[in-house]
Amino acid sequence: MTLKLNYLKHKNIILAISVLVVIAGLVYGFVTRFTLDIDFKGGTRISTELKEDYSVSDIEDIVKGVCGQISQVQATSAGENSVTITTQTISEGESNKVVEALKTKYTNMTEPTIRNVQASYGKELLNTAIIAVVVSIVLLLVYIAIRFKTLGYTAALSAILGLLFDVCFLFAVYGVFKFPINSTFVAVILTIIGYSINDTIIIYDRIRENKRLVTKSSDDKDVINESISQTMKRTIITSITTLTAIGIVLIFALVKDQETLKQFSIPLSIGIAEGTFSSIFIATNLWYSLDKLFKKGKNAKKA
Amino acid sequence: MKKDNIIKIVISIIVMLLLGYLAIFGLTIGEKTIIKGAKSIKTGLDISGGVTIVYQAEAEEGQEITVDDLEKSKAVITKRLEAKNIYDYIIRVDSNTNQINVEIPTDTSDTSVDPLAAVEGLDRTAVIQFRDSDGNVLLQGSDIKSAKYSEDAVDSTGIGKPHVVLTFSEEGQVKFAEATEKLVGKPMPIYLDEDCITEPVVNSKIDSSTAIITVGSGKRAEMEAIAREYAMLIDSGSLPFNLNVINKEYIGPYVGQQALDISVKAGVVALIAIALIMILIYRLPGVVSTISLVIYISILLLIISNTGISLTLSGIAGLILSIGMAVDGNVIIFERLKEELYQKVAYKKAFEKAYKNATSTIVDGNITTLIVALVLYLLGSGMIKGFGLVLALGVVFTLVSSLLVSRFILKQFMPMANKTTFLFGIKKEVEKNDTKA
């Protein structure tokens, strides 16, 4: 009843292709620039009272038409049909042009206030996220090294490398799809880290259990293949149920054309599929290779 | 199946329905809301909008406001917000104009509640001073290491009373001992921003690292509110300058109510879909996992609505992850159970073995995630702290759900495995193949 395959057969090719894909995505992202949200980069904020009914998409179109920027339009309570329009930092000339264009459409609007927003909030969010992730990684290393002693320290190291791969992959996804880097991005990354480490641990757990059954084995290949096979059904079913949950959000978002939910559910769906992949083909593969290398080095020393 | 099993199953289903009902509608007796339902869940700044307040820092004569001062006051305000269980905030500092902009979520549709009530005290300078009756300052904020709210008994009556426990720094303890030695028999008023909050009379020299501030008498709820406010203000430290509110207005959401409506609908559909998938694959155990999943989600919703944590998009991400992990716990157990049943192990033994093996897997998987969640909660701030909190709660209840709730219900169904393996998702043909092999 289990899918018995040799999961380690093409390990080096799979590893190489995966790393290349991520590097390509990252390079593409850096060359074509990542899209940073206003709180991560600073921006310009225009507040005004329109004094008449308006539609958000009209205003977005006006801003886009004048300076090519995507804007965020929020209603405020200050007066009659007040709005705050936020864009990436634009020059004074450009913001004046935006105001002119708005005035032609909304003739009664009041003189707007224009101010620049500093990027400190986003930077801080990213900084605390990075510190928290680094500390968690150190603690995870210690925990896995202790709980999975029989697998050697290389197991802990490989699990963490798998997580780093997840993070890089998601950065690449954001670079390619041009999703804005904002607090949602931070949440998606943290979610995938949580999902992927759980996946890796479950495979490790089975390897640990099966290694106890095998008395002496020169190569862990069979044990690993057996363990991945045995956990494969669980891996698939859990991925399907989790993907169902987030996939339904995605379908609703696509049908209703809800931009923010799309930005949230697309990378999350991709990330969950990728997290499953990385547990088997990055973390476990890497562990096998590193473990072999490590043992070889030890034997060489002995001899 | 024995009668006992059936009774336990029925009880489980009743508990599920009851918790589900409470999670959605809450519990209101007469006019009083005892348990808040899903409708009371606060939604975050991104989903429902909130209030934005601009504070202007005002220097006293001869004082210059530095960037450091602004950063310090930002840290103070952050601490005060988090003491109020508000994690979903945005604080922006503008060093050109010396303004601090705070955005927090409020229910913009409910105008009966003053949104500024939530930010009460944020802008208080909160300078604490211990003085003698001539007005000389004996101790001040920098001598105090921490201030915590407490309800322990403070006198010989043994009846608990709301108060604040101050812990002095080493230097503060020395100063406090000296001051109390000098003031025996005299009052030592404590001031917070020029308001005398209490005026205790010193009985004897006190050489202790802690002291308490009582809040007089009155209604217990009022006393508690005052004591909590004092603890929050003193603990977060004082602001380096005065803050004046120069602008406050409601802001609309940037994600929108629509996003929440969609998420709720999608959540209901997803729950049904997951239930169907699990029942289709695992049959009876699938039904068990559905019952425990509904219990699990109900408990999480009850916690979120009753603690006042606001639900943001990132919180929803944390919820989806923990639901995924709760289902995972069940999948791991059921797969193990199937493995055992295929090997024709007697159902009682199969059940015990499946749980024995699955427990270490589930515990290890969840503890690694819990480590991440706790670090995010402890080291993160704002949105990251909120995410960590939701995830940590989710993981803890995942363990309860898969290792206790599912186990309890599944155990009641196990005797049926004697009669039919079909209900446990074991296919006949495969069974034959396996025995041949």
Chain B residues with CB under 8 Å of A121 CB are: 90-92
DSSP H helices in B205-245? 220-236
Nearest to B365 among A128, A198, A233 (CB): A198
Residues in contact with A199: Cβ distance below 8 Å, sequence separation at least 6, in sequence order:
A235, A238, A275, A276, A279
The total of structural domains in chain A comes to 2
Residues A198 and A270 occupy one common structural domain: yes
Q: Is the pLDDT of residue B437 over 60?
A: no
In this structure, the strands spanning B128-131 and B163-168 are: unpaired
- State whether A213 and A279 are in the same domain: yes
Is the pLDDT at B430 greater than 70, yes or no? no
Rounded to an integer, what distance in angstroms lies between the CA atom of residue A283 and that of residue B61?
62
DSSP secondary structure string, B11-79?
A: HHHHHHHHHHHHHHH-EEETTEEEE--GGGPPBPHHHH-EEEEEEEEEPPTT----HHHHHHHHHHHHH
Spatial separation of the C-alpha atoms in residues A166 and A161, rounded to whole Å: 9
Tokens representing residue B296 in the block = 């699990």
The pLDDT of residue A19 is: 94
The pLDDT-based confidence of B431 (bands split at 50, 70, 90) is: very low
Q: Is B381 in the A-facing interface, judged by CB distances under 8 Å?
A: yes
Q: Which residues pair with B168 in a beta bridge?
A: B144
Domain end residue (candidates: A92, A117, A142): A117
Residues B416-430 have a mean pLDDT of: 69
pLDDT of residue A271: 93
Region B15-40: what's the mean pLDDT? 85
Looking at residue A158, its pLDDT comes to 94
One domain for residues A206 and A136: yes
Residues A112, A15 within the same domain: no
pLDDT for the residue numbered B79: 84
Tell me, yes or no, if B152 comes closer than 8 A to chain A by beta carbon.
no
Residue A3 has what pLDDT?
60
Mark yes or no for CB contact A234/B332 under 8 Å.
yes
> Is the domain of A22 the same as that of A113?
no
Asked whether the beta carbons of A174 and A29 are under 8 A apart, the reply is: yes
Q: What's residue B312's pLDDT?
A: 81
Tell me whether residue A56 is in a domain: yes
Tallying the residues shown for chain A, one arrives at 303
B383 to A187: CB separation less than 8 angstroms, yes or no: yes
Chain A residue with CA closest to B248: the answer is A78
| Single residue among A117, A136, A152 that ends a domain in this structure | A117
Is B274's Cβ below 8 Å from some Cβ in A?
yes
**Are B364 and A256 inside 8 Å of each other by CB?**
no
Nearest to A245 by CA among B325, B84, B386: B325
Predicted confidence at residue B19, as pLDDT, reads: 93
Which residues are bridge partners to B100 per DSSP? B55, B93
Mean pLDDT, residues A153-160: 92
Confidence of residue A140 (pLDDT cuts 50, 70, 90): very high
3-state secondary structure of B89: coil
The DSSP code for A75 is E
Res A159: pLDDT: 94
Residues B276-280 have a mean pLDDT of: 93
Asked if B40 has any chain A CB less than 8 Å from its own CB, the reply is no
Report which of residues B141 and A28 the model is more confident about: A28
Asked if residue A76 and residue A146 are part of one domain, the reply reads no
User: What average pLDDT does this structure show over A3-10?
Assistant: 77
The pLDDT of residue B95: 77
- Band of the pLDDT at B436, cuts 50, 70, 90? very low
Band of residue B11 on the pLDDT scale cut at 50, 70, 90:
very high
DSSP for residue B189: -
The mean pLDDT value for B126-143 works out to 82
User: What are the pLDDT digits (tens) for A187-233?
Assistant: 889 889 988 999 999 999 999 998 888 766 556 788 888 888 889 88
Q: In one letter, which amino acid is B54?
A: V
Is the pLDDT at A41 greater than 50? The verdict is yes
Q: Which of A61, A88, A117 is the last residue of a domain?
A: A117
Of A75, A234, A251, nearest to B252 by CB-CB distance is: A75
CB B372 within 8 A of CB A194: yes
- This prediction has a pTM of 0.76
Q: Does residue B333 contact residue B359 with C-beta atoms inside 8 Å?
A: no
Query: From B388, which residue of chain A is nearest by alpha-carbon distance?
Result: A190
**Contact (CB, 8 A) for B314 and B383:** yes
User: In the numeric block, which tokens belong to residue A291?
Assistant: 């473990």
Q: What's the one-letter identity of residue B256? A: G
Q: Would you say residue A96 lies in a domain?
A: yes
- pLDDT band at B116, cuts 50/70/90? low
Q: Is the pLDDT of residue B17 over 90?
A: yes
To the nearest whole Å, the CA of A95 is away from the closest chain B CA by 20
Identify the residue among B361, B362, B429 best suited for mutation to test binding to A, counting A beta carbons within 10 A and taking the highest.
B361
Q: Identify which has the larger pLDDT, A297 or A193.
A: A193
C-alpha separations of B13 from B6, B289, B290, B299, B408 in Å: 11, 12, 10, 15, 12
Clarify whether residues A30 and A47 are in a common domain.
no
Across residues B286-307, what is the average pLDDT? 91
Q: Does any domain span residue A145?
A: yes
Which structure tokens are listed for B76?
Answer: 């103070």
Picking from A248, A255, A265 by the largest number of B CB atoms within 10 A of its own CB, the best residue to mutate is A248
Q: Is B252 on the interface with A (CB under 8 A)?
A: yes
Q: Can you tell me the mean pLDDT for A140-147? A: 92
DSSP-assigned beta bridge partners for residue B163: B150, B214
Domain range spanning residue A82? 43-117
Q: Would you say residue A29 lies in a domain?
A: yes
The mean pLDDT value of chain A amounts to: 85
Closest chain A residue to B376, measured at CA: A132
Distance between CA atoms of residues B165 and B191, nearest Å: 16
Residues of B in contact with A206 (CB under 8 A): 361
Structural domain contains residue A4: no
Task: Identify which of A120, A186, A245 has the shortest CB distance to residue B324.
Answer: A245
Specify if A302 maps to a domain: no
**Tally of CB atoms within 10 A around B60:** 7
In terms of domains, do A23 and A170 share one? yes
CATH number of the domain residue A136 falls in = 1.20.1640.10
**Smallest Cβ distance to B262: which of A188, A242, A261?**
A261
| A113 and A202 assigned to the same domain | no
Question: Is residue A303 over pLDDT 70?
Answer: no
Burial class (CB in 10 A: 0-12, 13-18, 19+), B145: middle
Beta bridge partners of A246: none
Q: Which residues of chain B are within 8 Å of residue A195 when distances are taken between CB atoms?
A: 321, 324-325
CATH number reported for the structural domain that contains residue A56 in this entry? 3.30.70.3400
- Across the interface, whether the CB atoms of A1 and B381 are under 8 A apart is answered no
From the list A1, A187, A230, the residue facing B387 with the nearest CB is A187
The ipTM estimated for the assembled molecules is 0.80
pLDDT for A63-122, tens place per residue? 888 887 778 787 776 567 778 888 877 888 888 888 888 888 888 888 887 777 766 677
Q: Averaged over B170-190, what is the pLDDT?
A: 85
Q: What is the DSSP string of A188-237?
A: HHHHHHHHHHHHHHHHHHHHHHHHHHSS--S--HHHHHHHHHHHHHHHHH
With 70 as the cut, is the pLDDT of residue B434 above it?
Answer: no
Contact A77 B328 (CB under 8 A): no
In terms of pLDDT, which residue wins out, A67 or B256?
A: A67
Q: Is B432's pLDDT higher than 50?
A: no
Residue from B279, B417, B408, B351 nearest B12 by CA: B408
Question: Considering only CB atoms, which chain A residues are within 8 Å of B259?
Answer: 258, 260-261
Highest mean pLDDT out of A277-286, B202-211, B415-424: A277-286
C-beta atoms of A245 and B323 within 8 A: yes
Contact at CB, A76 and B250, closer than 8 angstroms:
yes
User: For residue B84, is pLDDT > 80?
Assistant: no
- Check B372 against A197: CB less than 8 A apart: yes
Task: Say whether residue B321 is in contact with chain A using an 8 A CB cutoff.
Answer: yes
Does residue A72 sit in the same domain as residue A217?
Answer: no
A2 lies in some domain = no
Dihedrals φ, ψ of A102, to 5°?
-65, -40
Domains, chain B, in order of start with CATH, read: 3-40+256-436 (1.20.1640.10), 50-124+241-251 (3.30.70.3400), 128-236 (3.30.1360.200)
Query: Residue A77: inside a domain, yes or no?
Result: yes
Lowest mean pLDDT among A6-20, A237-251, A266-280, B376-390: B376-390
Give the Cβ contact number of residue A218 at 10 Å.
6
- Cα distances (angstroms) measured from residue A78 to each of A47, A74, B53: 10, 12, 12
| A184 and A48 within one domain | no
Predicted confidence at residue B45, as pLDDT, reads 78
Indicate the pLDDT class of residue B429, thresholds 50, 70 and 90. Answer: very low
Q: What is the pLDDT of residue B107?
A: 66
Asked whether residue A95 falls in the same domain as residue A125, the answer is no
Report whether pLDDT(A274) > 90.
yes
Distance from CA of B168 to the nearest CA of A (A): 29
The pLDDT assigned to B200 comes to 80
Inter-chain CB proximity B321 and A194 less than 8 Å = yes
Whether residue B80 is predicted with pLDDT greater than 90 in this model: the reply is no
- A165-B367-B381 Cα angle (round to 5): 70
Chain B residues in contact with A260 by the CB 8 A cut-off are 46, 254-256, 259, 313
